[in-house]
Structure 1
């Protein structure tokens, strides 16, 4: 029989940092082995939202941008934050339109993830967007984006070659590859 109860004991909690997007707390803890220590936890104030657009010819769209946090250029599916209390698919629709100018008639949840769960509570929902039409993109002022339309298979090969490293993008592309392979989508 497995015991799935929480083996951690929190002795004290201290707020370290807080801004509109994240907060950081430090905890004095007794770890599962009985040793005293500290643990830091980053709390996210939004859901991580992604949308993988896939048109009728099995093309997809990637967003390229320089990521401040990793100090390098990154190719990704359209993604961003979704406010708690807003339907996640509505946030995905907003992100897709904002970053690519695309509007989709069909939406389905593709995958749910916890991102870097060793130090954060960040929770991600990624959607598959189908039946696409093009409108005008409206990126945020913090985004300098390049949009790339390409065959989905090419995006998959970019994952295979290590050219796409964003966790949400990798997970979404691999999931769609499996769904195409077993006929769940065509």
Structure 2
């Protein structure tokens, strides 16, 4: 599909409003595409989002439950986390899977790249399927209080379709895996 190459936004100035080890927030004074002045905020992520759908030989997967501070709610998700932008995303995925579940996988397939909230952030996400699983001891971070459940993949798919799982990375990953399974293009 063709689209314009030129950016219709003009940046007049920018101010760093907030910065921590994970994100920064910048406010821009802009001229918007219609020619009017305005402001725009951008959240820059210093890590790449990583999601993993681990699948065992019996088509079970693993959900990680944790209380999400920002949502003030409990959330069930696939194993996920972040990896520095300069690092190999697959290495980050392997680390996250071990950290959260204690699983090590022999086989890895990248299935999806996506922007998570492109109206306010530049966060990029990579999603993988991990197979050939072997169980070791989980190594959660001290900020994580996790519950890990082994669940049949079809049950997780049902939970996503019923709106019982709302995490965007999990929803996208589960729907993509289901599509690949139906198409017969995912090697297990």
1:47 correspondence with 2:48: yes
Which stretch of the first structure deviates more once superposed, 41-50 or 2-11?
2-11
Counterpart for residue 115 of structure 1: 116
SS in 1 for 2:159: helix
Q: What is the 5 A alignment of 1:1-186?
A: 2-185=3-186
CA change 1:2–1:64 in 2 (3 A) is closer
SS in 2 for 1:98: helix
Deviation track 1:68-119 (CA, whole Å, cap 9, x = no partner) reads: 0111000001001101221100100000000000000000101001011000
What TM-score does the superposition give when structure 1 sets the normalisation length?
A: 0.98
SS in 1 for 2:119: coil
What TM-score does the superposition give when structure 2 sets the normalisation length?
A: 0.97
Show structure 2 runs of 5+ residues with no match: none
Q: Which of structure 1's runs of 4+ aligned residues deviate more than 6 A?
A: none
Q: CA deviation at 1:2?
A: 4.0
CA change 1:181–1:36 in 2 (3 A) is same
Deviation track 1:126-168 (CA, whole Å, cap 9, x = no partner) reads: 1110110100001001111010101100000010111111111
Deviation track 1:2-27 (CA, whole Å, cap 9, x = no partner) reads: 42321000001011000000000000
Give the number of equivalent residue pairs.
Answer: 186
